[in-house]
Amino acid sequence: MRFDTVIIGGGLSGLVCGIDLAKQGKRCVIISAGQSALHFSSGSFDLLNALPDGTPVGSPLDVLEDLALQSPGHPYVKLGGERMKALAGMVPVFFREAGVVVEGNGCCNHFRVTPMGTLKPTWLTLEGYSWVKAEGGSLPWKKAVVLNVAGFLDFYPAFIADELNKRGVACVVRLFNMDALSHLRKSPSEMRSANIARVFEKQENLEVLGRILKKEAGDAEVVFLPAVFGLERRDSLAFLRQALGREVLVLPTLPPSVPGIHTQLQLRKYFQECGGVYMLGDNVLRAEIEGHRVKRVYSYNHGDIPFVADDVVLATGSFFSQGLIAEPGRVYEPVFGLDVDSLESREQWFDLNFFHKQAYQSFGVKTDGMFRGMKQGVALDNLYVAGAVLGGFDAVKEGCGGGVSILTALAVANQIIDKHK
């Protein structure tokens, strides 16, 4: 099968890269094994929350020189300051065109409300999800209601109300029930966010929820709901706000993540509308490399029928997605056998204190300055690497996972387009 570009991995990075290429006329295929890390998303994307030494970051685009000094191999350092700023500025419009509306900018982090009611810095947050401009500032409400589905255990309204009360918001917790949700209570495993969200895909159930909001809101200025609607439809929150006549905001739950699934579905849909081919449920097993070029790629479902393309993008994610594999004595990249930035001694991979920095979090594929994958110290001419499979950054401690996935994907797409002009 012949394509202009084969993208291995259908998560955030693979979809962003594929969309950007398809919009510019490239015939692309995304080969995806299944669910991506978006299914665990908070509804926000981080750009850079802290430097490697732990220094908090308020304005990510203003600290790139410090980042380069502390972590010369960081993907942002390879992007360079000007290119990173340009790409970061494009992202909100890029997502809006794909049907995913986000709030925020790269000049200054804002603070999202976590499932426990605390505040964490972030870059972009999905429209309708709760956030504030400053961590120490006062909240814009005096009275609030946190409304939860009775029996839904992946949302903690008492913790959220407690945090809001500490910040001067008089907050109460209320529960609601609906006949349409009764079948989910037959098994505790069914009362999950994605299953509840499917119930609210139906207009009649959303209308019932609107009436419940009117009843339970009282004199509150804002009602907080768990993220259990808007799986596919994009108008759920607007409908509820109109029904109540006041502010309705959404808070993330424990996984599965409705905002993450929604984002994945919207990006996939837009990629296909742009002419891309999305092959779900297939694994790339191996590749043939000749003269520092990837010639053919073979997948499980297609057997001996190869994928042939001018360029290949590796966006398989890290350990979680099996883009990297760890064995007792080594870490390796399973498709191409690319060079991996890691440590030899297994004892150096981790810290026994779970909350300390873990070295393995920064393991990943080595690339040159153009994000071309390295094999035995040589960059492959037509193999590009993007997203979490890259090495040189710690997404957990630095708070940069979303930004690395998005910006490196856009950078790789630009490299491919420019190469063939």
- Residue 228 belongs to domain with CATH number: 3.40.50
- Residue 64 belongs to domain with CATH number: 3.50.50.60
Domain ends where: 222, 251, 280? 251
The reported pLDDT for the residue numbered 105 is 85
Instruction: Kindly state whether residues 42 and 19 are assigned to the same domain.
Output: yes
Instruction: Kindly state whether residues 268 and 246 are assigned to the same domain.
Output: no
- Is residue 226 scored above 90 in pLDDT? yes
pTM: 0.94
Instruction: Kindly state whether residues 246 and 265 are assigned to the same domain.
Output: no
Residue 378 counted as domain residue: yes
pLDDT confidence tier of residue 137, bands split at 50, 70 and 90: low
Instruction: Kindly state whether residues 274 and 243 are assigned to the same domain.
Output: no
| Cis peptide bond N-terminal to 256, omega within 30 | yes
Instruction: Kindly state whether residues 414 and 292 are assigned to the same domain.
Output: yes
Lowest mean pLDDT among 47-51, 317-321, 389-393: 317-321
Compute the average pLDDT of residues 79-98: 95
Instruction: Kindly state whether residues 59 and 29 are assigned to the same domain.
Output: yes
* DSSP run (H or E) holding 83: helix 81-97
Compute the average pLDDT of residues 139-153: 91
Instruction: Kindly state whether residues 188 and 271 are assigned to the same domain.
Output: no
Residue 116 counted as domain residue: no
pLDDT confidence tier of residue 408, bands split at 50, 70 and 90: very high
DSSP-derived 3-state class of residue 337: coil
* Sign of the four-CA dihedral 261, 267, 268, 273: positive
Instruction: Kindly state whether residues 388 and 338 are assigned to the same domain.
Output: yes
pLDDT tens for 244-294 read 999 999 999 999 999 999 999 999 999 999 999 999 999 999 999 999 999
Q: Which of 310, 361, 388, 273 is nearest to 9 (CA)?
A: 388
Cα–Cα distance measured from residue 350 to residue 358, given in angstroms and rounded to the nearest whole number:
5
Residue 347 counted as domain residue: yes
Cα–Cα distance measured from residue 21 to residue 414, given in angstroms and rounded to the nearest whole number:
8
DSSP-derived 3-state class of residue 225: strand
DSSP-derived 3-state class of residue 297: strand
- Domain that residue 223 falls in: 130-251
Residue 353 counted as domain residue: yes
Domain ends where: 251, 276, 306? 251
Residue 269 counted as domain residue: yes
Instruction: Kindly state whether residues 348 and 375 are assigned to the same domain.
Output: yes
pLDDT tens for 313-371 read 999 999 888 999 999 889 999 999 999 998 888 888 888 888 888 878 989 999 999 99
Instruction: Kindly state whether residues 14 and 62 are assigned to the same domain.
Output: yes
Residue 396 counted as domain residue: yes
Instruction: Kindly state whether residues 137 and 193 are assigned to the same domain.
Output: yes
Instruction: Kindly state whether residues 163 and 271 are assigned to the same domain.
Output: no
Domain ends where: 228, 251, 274? 251
Phi and psi at residue 96, to the nearest 5°: -60, -40
Residue 391 counted as domain residue: yes
* Chain position carrying tokens 């479902």: 301
CB 391 within 8 A of CB 365: yes
How many domains are contained in the chain? Answer: 2
Phi and psi at residue 148, to the nearest 5°: -125, 155
